[in-house]
Amino acid sequence: MFPLFVAETLIGLSIGGRLFLIAVGLSLIFGVLNVLNFAHGVFYMLGAYGAITVSALLLDNFWLGAAVGIVAVGIVGAIVEFGLIRPLYDRDEAILDQLILTFGVAMIVHELARMLWGSQPRSIPTPGSLDFSVGILGETITAYRLFVIGVSVVVLVGLWLFLTRTHHGHVIRATASDREMAAMLGVDVPRLYTTVFLLGSLLAGLGGALAAPLQAVSPALGDQIIIDAFVVVVIGGLGSISGAFVGAMLVGLFQAFGVQYIAAGDLALPFIAMILVLVFRPRGLLGEDEVL
């Protein structure tokens, strides 16, 4: 039954692409700053709301709305890092304190979103320019879904090139592997941290904005999505970008096939996978120590 697999694979890749866009920023931030950002989910939610709200204001142009939303999320992220997370870096229990602190941020943003947009889920139509179907091996898929898969690949490749081929990328990787050494060599570590956090938040916003036409958006979205993101980054390896990609695609394919072939209980399986990875390969399936 070959064609059947094509359908599932396409759906799986589409889910995977979306998951990757959520997880990659989280993983990047953890890889460089050693901060597990609980607020990443609400940033994603903000990105989605940003795209919806702004595009409604701006001539119904989804792309413009998305762009503004993404930038806004990036700015929020940078402010959070600068104002709240930064004072905690030199604590003894920095990692746990930062985790709890970002959790507080998530609560606040969640509530603010509810005040601003209400609890009712919202949605937005697929942007007209990509609202058509494409046939692949006898199956059809909307062009927008293909576009999201494409964006996730572009992000992966772009980050890869950025981190391996540019000066800034080298500095970031050096700081990730040895912050003291980097500081000694004259890197302005605090500023670099803020920049990376900004970048990670931009990616969360991008994921949210692009997902807006694909799912219902509500303030509780962040609470759900952060868990998916945790599953993905743990499976791929916390702090690893290629790991996030592999993890996202695995989980996406898994969900697509799981719906078809596992009668019930498939909701628990990603968590069981996460547990197994943590028990047997805590560094993730790829087992890399590098940010890449």
Q: Give Cα separations from 77 to 39, 69, 91 (angstroms).
A: 9, 12, 21
For another protein, which residue of 154, 268, 287, 289 counts as binding (CB under 8 A)? Answer: 268
Does residue 107 belong to the site contacting another protein (CB under 8 A)?
yes
Contacting range for another protein; rule: CB under 8 A; set: 10-18, 51-59, 107-115, 129-137: 107-115
Shortest gap between Cβ of 10 and another protein (angstroms)?
A: 25
Q: Give Cα separations from 71 to 75, 204, 289 (angstroms).
A: 6, 10, 30
Please check whether residue 102 is in contact with residue 38, taking contact to mean a CB–CB distance below 8 angstroms: yes
Does residue 114 belong to the site contacting another protein (CB under 8 A)?
yes
Does residue 281 belong to the site contacting another protein (CB under 8 A)?
no
- Give buried/exposed letters for 17-31 (b at 16+ CB in 10 A, else e): bbbbbbbbbbbbbbb
Residue 95 tokens read as: 């990692």
Does residue 185 belong to the site contacting another protein (CB under 8 A)?
no
Rounded Cα–Cα distance for residues 220 and 203 (Å): 19
Does residue 105 belong to the site contacting another protein (CB under 8 A)?
yes
Rounded Cα–Cα distance for residues 145 and 131 (Å): 9
Shortest gap between Cβ of 268 and another protein (angstroms)?
A: 4
Rounded Cα–Cα distance for residues 285 and 246 (Å): 9
**Residue owning tokens 């931030």:** 29
Residue 256: Cβ within 10 Å count: 21
Residue 144 or 230: the one with the smaller Cβ distance to another protein is 230
Rounded Cα–Cα distance for residues 43 and 50 (Å): 10
Does residue 238 belong to the site contacting another protein (CB under 8 A)?
yes
Does residue 193 belong to the site contacting another protein (CB under 8 A)?
yes
Residue 165 or 180: the one with the smaller Cβ distance to another protein is 180
Rounded Cα–Cα distance for residues 259 and 264 (Å): 8
Residue 144 or 193: the one with the smaller Cβ distance to another protein is 193
For another protein, which residue of 1, 3, 167, 180 counts as binding (CB under 8 A)? Answer: 180
Contacting range for another protein; rule: CB under 8 A; set: 54-62, 105-113, 136-144, 246-254: 105-113
Contacting range for another protein; rule: CB under 8 A; set: 70-78, 88-96, 165-173, 251-259: 88-96
Q: What are the backbone dihedrals phi and psi of residue 290, each rounded to the nearest 5 degrees, phi first?
A: -85, 160
Site residues, another protein (CB under 8 A): 36, 84, 86-92, 95-97, 99-101, 103-108, 110-112, 114-115, 179-180, 183-184, 189-190, 193, 223, 227, 230-231, 234, 238, 263-268, 271-272, 274-275, 278-279, 282
